[in-house]
Amino acid sequence: MHCVPKGMNWRLCLDGKVQWWQYLMITFIVVFIIPLILVLFWGSLLLAKDKLSAKAFLIACAFPLPCLLAWIVPQCKKTRTQGILLTGNSHDAKEIKNVLHDPFREPSNGDRGTLYWESVLTGRRLIMLTIHTFAADPMVRFVILNCACPLILVHHLAVRPFSERKANIFETLSLTSLVAICTFSLAEATYFFKGIELTGPSQSLFHVQQWIEIGLLGLGPTAVFILVMLAALSQVLRLFYHFIKSLLRVLPVVLSYVTHCKCFIQDLSLGRLSMSQHLLLYWDPEEPQYVT
Protein backbone atom coordinates (compact mmCIF):
# COMPACT_ATOMS: atom_id res chain seq x y z
CA MET A 1 0.00 0.00 0.00
CA HIS A 2 1.18 3.52 -0.70
CA CYS A 3 -0.08 7.13 -0.67
CA VAL A 4 -0.99 8.79 -3.96
CA PRO A 5 -2.09 12.38 -4.69
CA LYS A 6 -5.81 12.77 -5.27
CA GLY A 7 -6.49 16.42 -6.13
CA MET A 8 -5.27 18.49 -3.21
CA ASN A 9 -5.18 15.55 -0.82
CA TRP A 10 -3.21 12.36 -0.37
CA ARG A 11 -4.99 9.01 -0.24
CA LEU A 12 -3.83 5.61 0.94
CA CYS A 13 -4.37 3.17 -1.96
CA LEU A 14 -4.01 -0.58 -2.29
CA ASP A 15 -1.78 -1.74 -5.13
CA GLY A 16 -4.20 -2.97 -7.78
CA LYS A 17 -1.67 -4.57 -10.10
CA VAL A 18 -2.39 -8.09 -11.26
CA GLN A 19 -0.12 -10.56 -9.47
CA TRP A 20 1.56 -13.62 -11.00
CA TRP A 21 -0.75 -16.05 -9.22
CA GLN A 22 -3.76 -14.29 -10.76
CA TYR A 23 -2.34 -14.95 -14.21
CA LEU A 24 -1.87 -18.55 -13.13
CA MET A 25 -5.51 -18.82 -12.03
CA ILE A 26 -6.77 -17.29 -15.29
CA THR A 27 -4.63 -19.78 -17.23
CA PHE A 28 -6.04 -22.62 -15.13
CA ILE A 29 -9.62 -21.50 -15.89
CA VAL A 30 -8.94 -21.23 -19.62
CA VAL A 31 -6.96 -24.47 -19.88
CA PHE A 32 -8.94 -26.67 -17.47
CA ILE A 33 -12.35 -25.36 -16.38
CA ILE A 34 -13.79 -24.28 -19.74
CA PRO A 35 -12.60 -27.43 -21.58
CA LEU A 36 -13.97 -29.51 -18.70
CA ILE A 37 -17.45 -28.11 -19.31
CA LEU A 38 -17.19 -29.05 -22.98
CA VAL A 39 -15.88 -32.52 -22.06
CA LEU A 40 -18.82 -33.09 -19.70
CA PHE A 41 -21.22 -32.03 -22.44
CA TRP A 42 -19.73 -34.02 -25.29
CA GLY A 43 -18.58 -36.96 -23.16
CA SER A 44 -22.05 -37.44 -21.66
CA LEU A 45 -23.54 -37.70 -25.15
CA LEU A 46 -20.81 -40.11 -26.29
CA LEU A 47 -21.34 -42.28 -23.21
CA ALA A 48 -25.06 -42.37 -23.85
CA LYS A 49 -24.40 -43.62 -27.39
CA ASP A 50 -21.77 -46.15 -26.17
CA LYS A 51 -19.09 -44.44 -28.25
CA LEU A 52 -16.81 -43.67 -25.32
CA SER A 53 -15.22 -45.92 -22.74
CA ALA A 54 -15.19 -45.20 -19.03
CA LYS A 55 -11.39 -45.01 -19.02
CA ALA A 56 -11.37 -42.48 -21.86
CA PHE A 57 -13.99 -40.34 -20.11
CA LEU A 58 -12.06 -40.28 -16.83
CA ILE A 59 -8.84 -39.39 -18.63
CA ALA A 60 -10.69 -36.60 -20.45
CA CYS A 61 -11.94 -35.22 -17.11
CA ALA A 62 -8.37 -35.21 -15.77
CA PHE A 63 -6.85 -33.69 -18.93
CA PRO A 64 -9.75 -31.96 -20.67
CA LEU A 65 -7.96 -29.74 -23.18
CA PRO A 66 -5.73 -32.38 -24.87
CA CYS A 67 -8.56 -34.92 -24.98
CA LEU A 68 -10.99 -32.36 -26.32
CA LEU A 69 -8.58 -31.56 -29.13
CA ALA A 70 -8.17 -35.29 -29.77
CA TRP A 71 -11.95 -35.55 -30.15
CA ILE A 72 -12.31 -32.46 -32.35
CA VAL A 73 -9.56 -33.22 -34.88
CA PRO A 74 -11.11 -36.50 -36.17
CA GLN A 75 -14.48 -34.77 -36.41
CA CYS A 76 -12.96 -31.99 -38.51
CA LYS A 77 -11.28 -34.58 -40.75
CA LYS A 78 -14.55 -36.56 -40.82
CA THR A 79 -12.86 -39.78 -39.76
CA ARG A 80 -14.00 -42.36 -37.25
CA THR A 81 -11.98 -42.78 -34.10
CA GLN A 82 -11.25 -46.29 -32.92
CA GLY A 83 -9.33 -47.74 -30.02
CA ILE A 84 -9.65 -45.93 -26.72
CA LEU A 85 -12.93 -44.23 -27.62
CA LEU A 86 -14.72 -47.49 -28.40
CA THR A 87 -13.08 -49.98 -26.03
CA GLY A 88 -13.37 -50.39 -22.31
CA ASN A 89 -15.18 -52.12 -19.50
CA SER A 90 -18.93 -51.87 -19.99
CA HIS A 91 -19.55 -52.24 -16.25
CA ASP A 92 -17.40 -49.18 -15.47
CA ALA A 93 -19.18 -47.21 -18.18
CA LYS A 94 -22.51 -48.20 -16.63
CA GLU A 95 -21.39 -46.93 -13.22
CA ILE A 96 -20.38 -43.58 -14.71
CA LYS A 97 -23.69 -43.38 -16.57
CA ASN A 98 -25.52 -43.92 -13.28
CA VAL A 99 -23.78 -40.87 -11.84
CA LEU A 100 -24.05 -38.58 -14.89
CA HIS A 101 -27.37 -39.63 -16.47
CA ASP A 102 -29.71 -41.00 -13.81
CA PRO A 103 -30.94 -37.63 -12.44
CA PHE A 104 -31.80 -36.29 -15.90
CA ARG A 105 -34.29 -37.08 -18.66
CA GLU A 106 -33.39 -39.73 -21.18
CA PRO A 107 -34.03 -39.27 -24.91
CA SER A 108 -37.51 -40.28 -26.09
CA ASN A 109 -39.75 -39.77 -29.09
CA GLY A 110 -39.16 -36.23 -30.33
CA ASP A 111 -37.09 -35.36 -27.24
CA ARG A 112 -33.29 -35.39 -27.16
CA GLY A 113 -33.19 -35.61 -23.39
CA THR A 114 -30.94 -33.77 -20.98
CA LEU A 115 -28.20 -36.29 -20.24
CA TYR A 116 -25.65 -33.49 -20.75
CA TRP A 117 -27.10 -31.29 -17.99
CA GLU A 118 -24.18 -31.78 -15.61
CA SER A 119 -22.14 -29.60 -17.96
CA VAL A 120 -24.87 -26.93 -17.83
CA LEU A 121 -24.77 -26.91 -14.02
CA THR A 122 -20.98 -26.53 -14.07
CA GLY A 123 -21.27 -23.74 -16.65
CA ARG A 124 -23.75 -21.89 -14.44
CA ARG A 125 -21.31 -21.90 -11.55
CA LEU A 126 -18.54 -20.62 -13.81
CA ILE A 127 -20.76 -17.77 -15.05
CA MET A 128 -21.70 -16.73 -11.51
CA LEU A 129 -18.11 -16.81 -10.29
CA THR A 130 -16.91 -14.88 -13.34
CA ILE A 131 -19.47 -12.13 -12.77
CA HIS A 132 -18.60 -11.93 -9.09
CA THR A 133 -14.84 -11.82 -9.81
CA PHE A 134 -14.60 -9.41 -12.72
CA ALA A 135 -17.48 -7.03 -11.91
CA ALA A 136 -15.82 -4.98 -9.19
CA ASP A 137 -18.56 -2.31 -9.01
CA PRO A 138 -21.48 -3.58 -6.87
CA MET A 139 -24.04 -1.84 -9.08
CA VAL A 140 -22.67 -3.37 -12.27
CA ARG A 141 -22.32 -6.76 -10.59
CA PHE A 142 -25.92 -6.96 -9.38
CA VAL A 143 -27.31 -5.59 -12.63
CA ILE A 144 -25.54 -8.35 -14.55
CA LEU A 145 -26.62 -10.95 -11.99
CA ASN A 146 -30.21 -9.74 -12.23
CA CYS A 147 -30.02 -10.37 -15.95
CA ALA A 148 -28.29 -13.75 -15.65
CA CYS A 149 -30.38 -15.30 -12.86
CA PRO A 150 -33.82 -14.81 -14.52
CA LEU A 151 -32.39 -16.20 -17.78
CA ILE A 152 -31.16 -19.27 -15.92
CA LEU A 153 -34.57 -19.67 -14.29
CA VAL A 154 -36.40 -19.34 -17.62
CA HIS A 155 -34.02 -21.85 -19.20
CA HIS A 156 -34.69 -24.33 -16.43
CA LEU A 157 -38.48 -23.89 -16.68
CA ALA A 158 -38.34 -24.38 -20.45
CA VAL A 159 -36.19 -27.51 -20.36
CA ARG A 160 -37.13 -29.14 -17.02
CA PRO A 161 -34.02 -31.33 -17.12
CA PHE A 162 -34.59 -33.65 -14.16
CA SER A 163 -36.43 -36.93 -14.58
CA GLU A 164 -38.17 -36.54 -11.21
CA ARG A 165 -40.90 -33.93 -10.92
CA LYS A 166 -39.93 -33.11 -7.31
CA ALA A 167 -36.35 -32.38 -8.37
CA ASN A 168 -37.59 -29.89 -10.98
CA ILE A 169 -39.78 -28.21 -8.37
CA PHE A 170 -36.95 -27.88 -5.84
CA GLU A 171 -34.59 -26.55 -8.51
CA THR A 172 -37.23 -23.99 -9.52
CA LEU A 173 -37.59 -22.86 -5.90
CA SER A 174 -33.82 -22.61 -5.55
CA LEU A 175 -33.41 -20.50 -8.69
CA THR A 176 -36.38 -18.32 -7.72
CA SER A 177 -34.81 -17.63 -4.34
CA LEU A 178 -31.58 -16.73 -6.13
CA VAL A 179 -33.44 -14.21 -8.30
CA ALA A 180 -35.07 -12.71 -5.19
CA ILE A 181 -31.73 -12.39 -3.39
CA CYS A 182 -30.17 -10.66 -6.42
CA THR A 183 -33.12 -8.26 -6.69
CA PHE A 184 -32.98 -7.31 -3.00
CA SER A 185 -29.20 -6.92 -3.18
CA LEU A 186 -29.55 -4.64 -6.21
CA ALA A 187 -31.99 -2.43 -4.29
CA GLU A 188 -29.59 -2.30 -1.37
CA ALA A 189 -26.63 -1.47 -3.64
CA THR A 190 -28.67 1.30 -5.32
CA TYR A 191 -29.36 3.04 -2.01
CA PHE A 192 -25.73 2.81 -0.93
CA PHE A 193 -24.47 3.91 -4.35
CA LYS A 194 -26.59 7.07 -4.26
CA GLY A 195 -25.75 7.71 -0.61
CA ILE A 196 -29.41 7.77 0.46
CA GLU A 197 -30.05 7.29 4.17
CA LEU A 198 -33.09 5.14 4.74
CA THR A 199 -35.71 6.49 7.14
CA GLY A 200 -39.34 5.79 7.89
CA PRO A 201 -41.24 3.11 5.91
CA SER A 202 -38.34 2.60 3.50
CA GLN A 203 -36.10 1.56 6.37
CA SER A 204 -38.69 -0.96 7.59
CA LEU A 205 -39.04 -2.36 4.07
CA PHE A 206 -35.28 -2.57 3.81
CA HIS A 207 -35.09 -4.58 7.06
CA VAL A 208 -37.84 -6.91 5.82
CA GLN A 209 -35.84 -7.52 2.64
CA GLN A 210 -32.75 -8.27 4.69
CA TRP A 211 -34.62 -10.83 6.81
CA ILE A 212 -36.03 -12.44 3.67
CA GLU A 213 -32.48 -12.70 2.29
CA ILE A 214 -31.27 -14.26 5.55
CA GLY A 215 -34.15 -16.73 5.48
CA LEU A 216 -33.52 -17.73 1.88
CA LEU A 217 -29.79 -18.08 2.44
CA GLY A 218 -30.26 -20.10 5.62
CA LEU A 219 -32.99 -22.35 4.23
CA GLY A 220 -30.58 -24.83 2.64
CA PRO A 221 -28.13 -25.14 5.56
CA THR A 222 -31.04 -25.36 8.02
CA ALA A 223 -32.64 -28.17 6.03
CA VAL A 224 -29.32 -30.04 5.88
CA PHE A 225 -28.80 -29.54 9.63
CA ILE A 226 -32.30 -30.86 10.41
CA LEU A 227 -31.76 -33.89 8.19
CA VAL A 228 -28.41 -34.65 9.85
CA MET A 229 -29.92 -34.31 13.33
CA LEU A 230 -32.86 -36.54 12.40
CA ALA A 231 -30.46 -39.12 10.96
CA ALA A 232 -28.36 -39.06 14.15
CA LEU A 233 -31.49 -39.28 16.33
CA SER A 234 -32.80 -42.22 14.31
CA GLN A 235 -29.49 -44.04 14.79
CA VAL A 236 -29.62 -43.43 18.55
CA LEU A 237 -33.21 -44.68 18.74
CA ARG A 238 -32.29 -47.68 16.62
CA LEU A 239 -29.38 -48.50 18.92
CA PHE A 240 -31.65 -48.12 21.98
CA TYR A 241 -34.28 -50.37 20.34
CA HIS A 242 -31.75 -53.12 19.62
CA PHE A 243 -30.38 -52.82 23.15
CA ILE A 244 -33.85 -53.25 24.67
CA LYS A 245 -34.58 -56.12 22.30
CA SER A 246 -31.33 -57.89 23.24
CA LEU A 247 -32.00 -57.24 26.92
CA LEU A 248 -35.43 -58.80 26.68
CA ARG A 249 -33.88 -61.86 25.06
CA VAL A 250 -31.17 -62.24 27.71
CA LEU A 251 -33.31 -61.37 30.75
CA PRO A 252 -35.30 -64.66 30.89
CA VAL A 253 -32.06 -66.63 30.69
CA VAL A 254 -30.53 -64.60 33.50
CA LEU A 255 -33.63 -64.93 35.66
CA SER A 256 -33.72 -68.66 35.04
CA TYR A 257 -30.05 -68.95 35.99
CA VAL A 258 -30.59 -66.92 39.17
CA THR A 259 -33.61 -69.05 40.07
CA HIS A 260 -31.66 -72.26 39.60
CA CYS A 261 -28.80 -70.93 41.70
CA LYS A 262 -31.19 -69.91 44.46
CA CYS A 263 -32.88 -73.30 44.45
CA PHE A 264 -29.50 -75.04 44.54
CA ILE A 265 -28.41 -72.97 47.54
CA GLN A 266 -31.68 -73.69 49.33
CA ASP A 267 -31.37 -77.40 48.62
CA LEU A 268 -27.80 -77.39 49.84
CA SER A 269 -28.71 -75.58 53.05
CA LEU A 270 -31.63 -77.95 53.67
CA GLY A 271 -29.31 -80.89 53.10
CA ARG A 272 -26.86 -79.59 55.68
CA LEU A 273 -29.65 -78.95 58.17
CA SER A 274 -31.01 -82.46 57.80
CA MET A 275 -27.49 -83.87 58.32
CA SER A 276 -27.12 -81.86 61.54
CA GLN A 277 -30.48 -83.02 62.79
CA HIS A 278 -29.55 -86.59 61.93
CA LEU A 279 -26.37 -86.36 63.95
CA LEU A 280 -28.20 -84.82 66.91
CA LEU A 281 -30.75 -87.58 66.90
CA TYR A 282 -28.06 -90.26 67.16
CA TRP A 283 -25.68 -88.35 69.44
CA ASP A 284 -24.19 -90.32 72.28
CA PRO A 285 -23.11 -88.20 75.30
CA GLU A 286 -20.54 -90.83 76.34
CA GLU A 287 -18.79 -90.71 72.96
CA PRO A 288 -18.70 -87.03 71.90
CA GLN A 289 -15.76 -87.59 69.60
CA TYR A 290 -18.08 -88.97 66.98
CA VAL A 291 -19.87 -85.64 66.75
CA THR A 292 -17.82 -82.93 65.12
**Tens-place pLDDT, residues 30-63:** 889 999 999 999 888 888 888 888 888 888 889 9
pLDDT surpasses 90 at 150: yes
Which pLDDT value is given to residue 182?
A: 87
Q: Bridge-partner residues for 4, per DSSP?
A: 11
pLDDT surpasses 90 at 209: no
Angstrom distance (rounded) from CA 168 to CA 157: 8
105 neighbors 161 (Cβ within 8 angstroms): yes
Which pLDDT value is given to residue 80?
A: 56
- Per-residue pLDDT band for 175 (boundaries 50, 70, 90) equals very high
Please tell me which residue, 281 or 150, carries the higher pLDDT value: 150
> Amino acid identity, residue 211?
W
- Per-residue pLDDT band for 227 (boundaries 50, 70, 90) equals very high
pLDDT surpasses 60 at 286: no
Q: Which CA distances in Å does 210 have to 83, 97, 129, 195? A: 58, 42, 23, 18
Q: What percent of the chain has pLDDT over 70?
A: 78
pLDDT surpasses 80 at 197: no
Contacts 24+ apart (CB under 8 A), 153-161: 153/178, 153/179, 159/114, 159/117, 160/105, 161/104, 161/105, 161/114, 161/117, 161/120
pLDDT surpasses 50 at 212: yes
Which pLDDT value is given to residue 213?
A: 83
> Amino acid identity, residue 49?
K
Contacts of residue 97, Cβ cutoff 8 Å, sequence gap at least 6: 47, 48
Q: Answer whether 0.85 is exceeded by the pTM.
A: no
Please tell me which residue, 139 or 169, carries the higher pLDDT value: 169
119 neighbors 38 (Cβ within 8 angstroms): yes
In eight-state DSSP terms, residue 104 is B
The C-alpha R_g of the chain, in whole angstroms, comes to 38
> How would you classify residue 9: left for phi > 0, otherwise alpha for psi between -120 and 50, otherwise beta?
beta
142 neighbors 182 (Cβ within 8 angstroms): yes
> What is the pLDDT averaged over residues 138-145?
87
Angstrom distance (rounded) from CA 3 to CA 13: 6
pLDDT surpasses 90 at 207: no
Summarize pLDDT for 69-108 with one digit per residue, the tens: 888 877 776 665 544 455 555 667 788 888 888 889 888 8
In eight-state DSSP terms, residue 112 is -
Please tell me which residue, 156 or 289, carries the higher pLDDT value: 156
Which pLDDT value is given to residue 169?
A: 93
Q: What is the 3-state secondary structure (H, E, C) of 205-254?
A: HHHHHHHHHHHHHHHHHHHHHHHHHHHHHHHHHHHHHHHHHHHHHHHHHH
**Mean pLDDT value across the chain:** 79
Angstrom distance (rounded) from CA 195 to CA 192: 5
Angstrom distance (rounded) from CA 242 to CA 219: 34
- Lowest pLDDT segment from 52-61, 75-84, 242-251, 260-269: 75-84
